[in-house]
Structure 1
Amino acid sequence: MSTSARIRALADKQAIYDQMCRYIQAVDRCDLELLKSTFHHDGSVIFGIFDGNAHDFCDYDIPFIKDNLVWAYHRIANVVIELDGNRATAESYMLGNAAAALPDGNKINCPDNMRYRDVWEKRDGVWRMWKRDLVMDWNACWAYAGRSDGRFADYRVQGTRGREDLTYRMKLIP
């Protein structure tokens, strides 16, 4: 492989990885427009709780998160991307953690580990997901024990959903 081909491959893999990170930011900030921007309009999502068009999934997922989770934070890791021209396949591990409010007012903490299996396509020079499948490896729930008292209150800056989050002010999300 020539040097220019290797550089192009690295740039393409980085562009896909950047979109993976945008997806996570969109879900955690409940940013519907940003979430849709990570998918092609004719893309699909198969998540068990949803099987259909990717943009319809976005329209389902953001309200679901807002209605059912107090907060949610996700991380991706172990990203493997295989390029094939303007198409790529990828697997990434996702570790998520969310708090949900129970009807009695108590909260539960719900960590999970999943794997995303994606097909990406580059159209008009932009990489977006064309297909995303979810593999659930494990999940759990227990009583929420978050703290905001004492020393935690002195230094802790709370993340927020929406464009009020510091990440937008820092212009890290378009």
Structure 2
Amino acid sequence: MADTFEAKLQLVLDRQEIEKVLATYCRAIDRCDLELLKTVYHPDGTDDHGSYSGNAHEFAEFIIPTLKTAILDGIHTVTHSLIEVDGDFATSEAYYWAYQRCHGGEAAVTPYFGEDYAARVKEAGLIDLYHDYYCGGRYIDLFERRNGEWKVLRRKITNEWNDIRPSRRITDQGGVADFNLPGRRDRQDPVYLNRIPMTV
């Protein structure tokens, strides 16, 4: 009975650690934190992300500058995950939802969203507005535990849907303006500044 209980407890702890890695990915992407993003993957890990497929640390080096250039702000969230652990390996299917606000203007909209969308919003006189990009899909991961740490060894994403539209976000009018409190995309974000003080 003790062995069964201990095995179940270890399984819970393993899943908790893997879920922390999934959440850390979201923080790293949204805060454009390159070094934090690399901690999600083993050095020989891979990521097949659509716009990039190859070494995961090189993916981090690719995606963070891309996000800083193309995206004004955004948020990723993992809604739920199904994790199966087998020794020092685990598979995870984690559903995600993401939002990103993108630059306006033909030079920014056309390469990111394509010529058809750019033509439609230009004809409507909306191309110079910010544009909202919503999407959802799955992170399908193979995790490996090395030296007691779970990290992604292989990631494949799916993008099941998207919705793109000129932004209707209100940031400077009425009472809602008081609640326009976006985070930062660097280590000056409150999540880094509001740490629990360490005592000696």
TM-score bracket, normalised by the shorter chain, equals: over 0.9
User: What do residues 36-95 of structure 1 show as CA deviations (whole Å, max 9, x unaligned)?
Assistant: 001000000111211100000000000010000111101101200000100000001110
Say which is worse superposed, 108-117 or 97-106, in terms of deviation: 97-106
The Cα of 1:139 is off from its aligned counterpart by 0.7
Partner residue in 2 for 1:155? 179
Q: Secondary structure at the match of 1:168?
A: helix
Counterpart residue number, 2:112: none
**Residue type of the partner of 2:36?**
L
Shift of 1:155: 3.3
Call closer, same or farther: CA 1:165–1:60 in 2, change over 3 Å.
same
Q: Which residue of 2 aligns with 1:58?
A: 60
In percent, how many aligned pairs have the same letter?
31
CA distance in 2, matches of 1:158, 1:54: 28
Distance 2:157 2:41 in 1: 15
TM-score, length basis structure 1: 0.95
2-structure distance, mates of 1:63, 1:171: 26
Is the counterpart of residue 164 in structure 1 residue 188 in structure 2?
Answer: yes
- 1:108 aligns with 131
- Give the whole-Å Cα distance in 1 for the aligned partners of 2:175 and 2:8: 49
In structure 2, distance between residues paired with 1:80 and 1:170: 31
Matches of 1:78 and 1:29, distance apart in 2: 21
Partner of 1:134: 157
Give the total of aligned pairs. 172
Task: Pick one of 29, 32, 44 that aligns with 2:31.
Answer: 29
Q: Which runs of 5+ in 1 are unaligned?
A: none
Deviation at 1:159, TM superposition (A): 0.9
In the other structure, the counterpart of 1:145 is 168
Q: Runs in 1 of length 4+ with deviation above 3 angstroms?
A: none
Report the residue type matching 1:171 in the other structure.
R
Is the helix fraction higher in 1 or 2?
2
SS at match of 1:140: strand
Higher CA-based Rg: 2
For the residue of structure 1 that corresponds to 2:94, the secondary structure is strand
Task: Report which stretch shifted further, 162-171 or 30-39.
Answer: 162-171
Q: Single out whichever of 144-153 and 20-29 deviates more from structure 2.
A: 144-153
